[in-house]
């Protein structure tokens, strides 16, 4: 009777047979033998009115203990609250409530997990009279599920740890490799080889060269039979200057290009022609990462990893790792370049010390020999002295040596002052034309020694604001060089004004300077020709340029080998300088 009134429960066909109607005994047996816990509570006080054997086994209480009691008599308060809340919800809503998981404290089996359905059973008045509960003990199933989940998680964590270890180990190997050689071309090819297949099926490394050109410095494919295709790619399709294309866009923007899945039509679109498409398809490209190679904020190139035959699909984790590798490569290249420039600087310094030693010892030798000759020829006890003519000559030669030494030391001091930013200037208004005439007059004897006649072309006074001593130094340096390298041919000096700039030019018709040395000759310790062939410290043009720059001017050179050189100094004229300073 009780069950037949339950809403939503349709009795199975065999129970609807007439001979079974009203057979409570049969139903009792049915309920009693169900493997799930079945209980009935009265709707009013939620006391147990019925319990089956499975329920007794599960809870550890006999039905005699349970009947007439409620949840608070057996279970902890939180559990009892939970059960009764659900019961009330079922009875108030007149609906079946499904509770997928609920914990219950049993007498002998500890806490068990139940899957429970609660069903309202209606009285004749249509109101809920009873609450029917059916609970399945899912504790073991839950344990099995949790155990499986834990195992899966542990496996994933282990795999993650292994990946982290492998990546750390790879980075350590890569760092060792990168620091093992200062020839970074060699290191990068070895790195590409080391990274495949760990990071992809193939790898290329492209560097940005001077003049904005790109060079693919390394390429490696896991499949040796694809080497031909890699070579074809490198030789036939060099990285072009199209700034929007993959690798170049990474180098120009400094941002990683990540394509987790590369569809074939994208390869088709990117291919330059049929041959390029054949090569790209042959190499395989299903997923790719192109990361920048950078150091100290400067992009030096890009490293790309491509998956093809392996079918690997890159993840964000791979992207972060490749970016880290790009940074390490950048630092290694930076170190190699710094080492290279340090080596050059050391070599330039050694050469300078050798030249400085030679240049300083030359006048000292002449001076010393002259003094020793004078000593040898002077014997006061015997009243022997050199003739006045000989003595005068010795003193002249000695004086010249002291001047040579002074000039050399002045040059060295000037360089030291320039390096320390302490080259000071006393600006005054002066006439450049007059200064040039005076300088040439003053050193006319010196130019005669080189057999280089000097002609001056000036258009009257030209006033500028300058340091007299330093400007004279500029003119003298240029004239001395013209004489030194002038092969005994004429030297022409001119002064003029053009577009508010004073132009001082010094032309010789001597040995000339190769075009690739135009910039270098203004650097410290640099000469266009080897040190053995010309005396001097190689500091003159460096000092000259620094002085000109301090006057807000610039110096340039044009030259032709065997035909001579033209040095042009441009300085702002007095009026232009005044305007520049007041604005």
DSSP bridge pairs for 134: 38, 117
**Closest CB to another protein among residues 353, 579:** 353
CB of 447 to another protein, least distance (A): 15
Token code pair at residue 188: 């990068």
**Closest CB to another protein among residues 499, 533:** 533
**Closest CB to another protein among residues 267, 531:** 531
**Closest CB to another protein among residues 189, 377:** 377
**Closest CB to another protein among residues 225, 533:** 533
What sign does the dihedral 72-77-78-79 (CA atoms) show? negative
CB of 401 to another protein, least distance (A): 6
CB of 539 to another protein, least distance (A): 17
- Angstrom CA distances, 26 to 18, 39, 40, 121, stand at 13, 17, 17, 19
**Closest CB to another protein among residues 165, 403:** 403
**Closest CB to another protein among residues 294, 401:** 401
User: What secondary structure letter does DSSP report for 109?
Assistant: S
CA–CA separation, 222 vs 297, rounded Å? 32
CB of 365 to another protein, least distance (A): 4
CB of 353 to another protein, least distance (A): 8
CB burial of 22-43 (b: ≥16 within 10 Å; e: otherwise) equals eeeeebeeebeeeebbbbbbbb
8 Å CB contact between 131 and 120 = yes
CB of 442 to another protein, least distance (A): 21
CB of 290 to another protein, least distance (A): 50
**Closest CB to another protein among residues 169, 365:** 365
- Taking phi over 0 as left and psi of -120 to 50 as alpha, with beta for the rest, 296 belongs to left
CB count within 10 Å of CB 479 equals 25
Give the position of tokens 């009764």. 84
| DSSP assignment string, 152-191 | HHHHHHHHHHHHHHHHHHHHHHHHHHHHH-S-HHHHHHHH
Sort strands 463-467 and 427-431 into parallel, antiparallel or unpaired: antiparallel
**Closest CB to another protein among residues 148, 561:** 561
CB of 402 to another protein, least distance (A): 11
Token code pair at residue 150: 């834990």
**Closest CB to another protein among residues 182, 397:** 397
Nearest to 508 by CA among 468, 450, 571, 549: 450
CB of 410 to another protein, least distance (A): 19
Torsion of CA 531, 533, 534, 540, to 10 degrees: -30
CB of 372 to another protein, least distance (A): 4
CB of 541 to another protein, least distance (A): 18
User: What secondary structure letter does DSSP report for 409?
Assistant: H
CA–CA separation, 180 vs 559, rounded Å? 43
**Closest CB to another protein among residues 231, 357:** 357
**Closest CB to another protein among residues 182, 534:** 534
CB of 373 to another protein, least distance (A): 6
Strands (E), 149-307: 202-208, 214-221, 257-259, 287-295, 298-307
**Closest CB to another protein among residues 270, 397:** 397
**Closest CB to another protein among residues 108, 445:** 445
3-class SS string, 421-439: CCCCCCEEEEEHHHHHHHH
- Angstrom CA distances, 73 to 14, 56, 90, 106, stand at 39, 15, 21, 12
Binding site for another protein (CB under 8 A): 354, 357-358, 361-370, 372-373, 376-377, 397, 400-401, 531-535
CA–CA separation, 411 vs 391, rounded Å? 30
CB of 449 to another protein, least distance (A): 8
CB count within 10 Å of CB 211 equals 5
8 Å CB contact between 204 and 329 = no
- Angstrom CA distances, 166 to 154, 160, 162, 193, 199, stand at 18, 10, 6, 16, 11
CB of 479 to another protein, least distance (A): 19
CA–CA separation, 284 vs 307, rounded Å? 7
CA–CA separation, 416 vs 191, rounded Å? 43
């Amino acid at each position: 009777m009780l069950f037949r009134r339950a809403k939503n429960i349709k009795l199975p066909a065999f129970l609807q047979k007439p001979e079974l109607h009203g057979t409570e005994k049969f139903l009792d047996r049915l309920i009693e033998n169900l493997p799930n816990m079945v209980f009935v509570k009265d709707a009013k006080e939620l006391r147990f009115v019925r319990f089956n054997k499975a329920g007794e086994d599960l809870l550890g209480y006999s039905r005699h203990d349970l009947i007439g009691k409620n949840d608070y008599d057996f279970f902890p308060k939180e559990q009892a609250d939970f059960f009764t809340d659900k019961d009330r919800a079922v009875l108030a809503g007149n609906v079946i409530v499904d509770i997928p998981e609920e914990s219950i404290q049993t007498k002998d089996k500890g806490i068990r997990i139940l899957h429970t359905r609660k069903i309202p059973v209606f009285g004749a008045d249509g109101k809920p009279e009873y609450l029917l509960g059916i609970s399945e003990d899912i504790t073991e199933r839950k344990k099995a599920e949790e155990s499986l989940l834990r195992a899966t998680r542990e496996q994933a964590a282990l795999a993650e740890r292994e990946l982290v270890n492998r990546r750390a180990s790879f980075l350590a190997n890569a760092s060792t490799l990168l620091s093992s050689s200062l020839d970074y071309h060699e290191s990068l090819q070895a790195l590409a080889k080391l990274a495949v297949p760990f990071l992809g099926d193939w790898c290329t490394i492209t560097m940005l060269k001077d003049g904005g050109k790109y060079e693919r410095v390394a390429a490696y494919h896991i499949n040796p039979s694809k080497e031909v295709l890699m070579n074809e790619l490198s030789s036939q399709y060099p990285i072009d200057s199209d700034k929007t294309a993959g690798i170049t866009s990474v180098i120009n923007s400094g941002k990683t290009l990540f394509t987790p899945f590369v569809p074939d039509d994208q390869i088709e679109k990117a291919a330059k022609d049929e041959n390029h498409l054949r090569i790209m398809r042959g190499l395989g490209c299903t997923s790719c990462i192109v990361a920048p190679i950078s150091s100290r904020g400067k992009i030096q190139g890009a490293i790309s990893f491509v998956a093809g035959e392996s079918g690997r699909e890159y993840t964000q984790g791979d992207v972060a790792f490749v970016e880290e590798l790009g940074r390490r490569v950048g630092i290694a290249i930076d170190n190699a370049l710094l080492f290279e420039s340090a080596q050059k600087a050391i070599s330039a310094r050694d050469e300078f010390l050798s030249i400085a030693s030679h240049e300083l010892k030359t006048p000292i030798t002449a001076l010393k020999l002259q003094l020793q000759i004078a000593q040898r020829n002077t014997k006061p006890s015997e009243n022997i002295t050199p003739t006045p003519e000989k003595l005068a000559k010795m003193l002249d030669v000695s004086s010249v040596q002291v001047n040579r030494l002074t000039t050399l030391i002045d040059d060295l001091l000037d360089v030291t002052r320039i390096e320390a930013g302490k080259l000071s200037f006393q600006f005054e208004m002066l006439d450049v034309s007059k200064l040039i005439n005076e300088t040439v007059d003053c050193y006319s004897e010196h130019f005669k020694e080189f057999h280089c006649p000097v002609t001056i072309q000036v258009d009257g006074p030209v006033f500028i604001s300058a340091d007299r001593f330093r400007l004279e130094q500029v003119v003298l340096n240029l004239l001395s060089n013209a004489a030194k390298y002038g092969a005994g041919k004429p030297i022409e000096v001119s002064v003029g004004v053009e577009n508010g700039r004073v132009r001082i030019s010094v032309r010789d018709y001597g040995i000339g300077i190769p075009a690739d040395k135009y910039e270098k000759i203004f650097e410290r310790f640099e000469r266009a020709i080897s040190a053995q062939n010309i005396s001097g410290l190689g500091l003159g043009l460096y000092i000259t340029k620094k002085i000109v720059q301090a006057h807000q001017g610039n110096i340039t050179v044009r030259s032709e080998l065997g035909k001579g050189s033209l040095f042009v100094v441009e300085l702002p004229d007095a009026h232009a300088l005044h305007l520049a300073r007041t604005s």
